[in-house]
Amino acid sequence: MEKLLLTWFAEHGRDLPWRSTRDPYAILVSEIMLQQTQVERVVPRYLAWLERWPTVESLAAASPADVIRAWQGLGYNRRALNLHGAARLIAAEGWPADLTALPGVGRYTAAALRRFAFAEDVLPVDVNVERVLRRTGATFGPVAAHALMDLGATVCIARIPRCRVCPLAAHCPSRGIREAPARKQGPFEGSFRQRRAAALRAVAEGPRPLAELDGEAVSALERDGLVRVAGDLVSLPGDATPPTLVAGVRPRTPRVPHRAR
């Protein structure tokens, strides 16, 4: 089955920019961005990110505020701080033997780095690969990693697999079987995630008075290290924008910020 899969991949595989490099930093950027974000949204942001910060050292030297601003629109903004923290650790100490020691790097991301950056004999199993392995009951080697990912993302999809165009269909025991839809995350519109995103977007434009923002959202962002609250002023961590640039705001003695109830 692996030979059939690789033949299909040679013709139908996706042309993704991070597949043309062995640079572990570039691959780390792609893997962190791809966590919970669709490929088509990641591609332009990945290219822009590497144009701005082409090396792990350049990202490590950036301020957290600049990193958070550059991440806006990708969602799950804590990933930006994880990537920044990983870059700082790598720049200071080198790549750790245990890649899961890096912020934001779990078992799958570590396996992807080991395979695609360091050419180790490891098969990274994401949700798409797991689905193909489970449905086919077949065994594939690490060389088929990208092919498995593409088959799972474009043909062997979760709810209604496209069995008629699958290169493995003739040998697949699950051919024609549909699965119950997985439980989906609630809609973004009107959610607390949207409120957090709106508050962070406002602060990313420049420090803001706490009274102008969603206090509950700010508290959650502060707990995640995405904003800092000093007195009545909310800003990004490491933001060099002087508070006096915000109209009508005067720096005050730091106090415990108001918590929305």
Going through 55-142 in order, the beta strands assigned E by DSSP cover none
Sheet-wide strand order for 208-209: 208-209, 233-235, 228-230
Question: Distance between CA atoms of 227 and 215, rounded to whole angstroms?
Answer: 12
Question: Distance between CA atoms of 208 and 232, rounded to whole angstroms?
Answer: 8
**Radius of gyration of the chain measured on its C-alpha atoms:** 22
31 is catalytic: yes
DSSP string over 6-60: HHHHHHH----GGGG---HHHHHHHHHHHTTS-HHHHHHHHHHHHHH--SHHHHH
Contacts of 253 (CB under 8 A, 6+ apart): 231
Contacts of 69 (CB under 8 A, 6+ apart): 204, 236
Catalytic, out of 31, 93, 189, 216 = 31
Give the residue numbers annotated as catalytic, written as ranges: 31
